[in-house]
Amino acid sequence: MKLFIKYMVSHRCKMVVKAELKTLGLHYVNVHLGEVEIMENISQEQHNQIKIALAKSGLELMDDKKAMLIEKIKNVVVEMVHYTDEIPKINFSIYLSEKLKYDYTYLSNLFSETEGTTVEQYILLHKIERVKELIIYDELNLTEIANKLHYSSVAHLSNQFKKVTGLTPSFFKTLKLKKRSTLENL
């Protein structure tokens, strides 16, 4: 049986979900961002127990099909930008359609209606957070960061970074207090 969980955007969230399922005596087959496959079919009482347990950690068990699809879109973006070493070189619209088995126009319209922003803007916010992270780690220069995240140039990366943060990447690098957003808040 599959369960869909909102706000599950990090490896820590996955650990929390695994621990809660274990506490409730349930066995999982797979735990992915936003999605858990458990061995058992659960009763309504168990469903409510899971819902309450997850809520204590800021996670939400979802029932609405459209909300689940929105969460899947978000999880694909988070996974692609933050947890893969190589962002796909194909257009994200094609990548998302293939990954979720839906027409991109439908996914894009649903996302915009529900979230009040476009999928593209959501991806941009995550890419900028990833750029901040890579700048803070100080392991790659801006050219390497631009290449890693498939920007056409350092200038393109810098322009988008400044539009979103109000700062240039170079100035951000010199700041003592480097502000990053949690993935849940993007």
Which strand (E) or helix (H) includes residue 12?
A: helix 11-23
Question: pTM of the entire structure?
Answer: 0.74
Beta carbons of 82 and 130 less than 8 angstroms apart: yes
**Angle, vertex CA 72, rays to CA 71 and CA 77, nearest 5:** 95
pLDDT above 80 for 59: yes
Confidence grade of residue 28 (pLDDT, cut at 50, 70, 90): very high
Confidence grade of residue 105 (pLDDT, cut at 50, 70, 90): very high
Per-residue pLDDT, averaged over 161-178, amounts to 86
CATH homologous superfamily, domain 66-186? Homeodomain-like (1.10.10.60)
| β partners of residue 31 | 36
Contacts of 63 (CB under 8 A, 6+ apart): none
How far apart, in whole angstroms, are the C-alpha atoms of residue 162 and residue 51? Answer: 40
Q: Read off the DSSP letter of residue 39.
A: S
pLDDT above 70 for 13: yes
Beta carbons of 68 and 6 less than 8 angstroms apart: no
Confidence grade of residue 176 (pLDDT, cut at 50, 70, 90): low
The rounded percent of the chain whose pLDDT value lies above 70 is 96
Confidence grade of residue 122 (pLDDT, cut at 50, 70, 90): very high
How far apart, in whole angstroms, are the C-alpha atoms of residue 147 and residue 90? Answer: 14
Mean pLDDT over the full length of the chain? 90
pLDDT above 90 for 10: no
How far apart, in whole angstroms, are the C-alpha atoms of residue 94 and residue 86? Answer: 16
What is the DSSP code string of 51-112?
HHHHHTTT-EEE--HHHHHHHHHHHHHHHHHHS-SS--SS-HHHHHHHHHTS-HHHHHHHHH
- The pLDDT assigned to 178 comes to 64
Per-residue pLDDT, averaged over 2-16, amounts to 89
User: How is the chain split into domains, by residue range?
Assistant: 2-63, 66-186
Helix axes 104-115, 65-82, angle to 10 degrees: 100
Q: Number of C-alpha atoms within 13 angstroms, CB side, residue 155?
A: 0
Query: Both tokens of residue 55?
Result: 């809520």
Confidence grade of residue 174 (pLDDT, cut at 50, 70, 90): confident
pLDDT above 80 for 166: yes
CATH number assigned to the domain covering 2-63: 3.30.70
pLDDT above 70 for 6: yes
| β partners of residue 6 | 60
pLDDT above 90 for 9: no
- The pLDDT assigned to 165 comes to 93
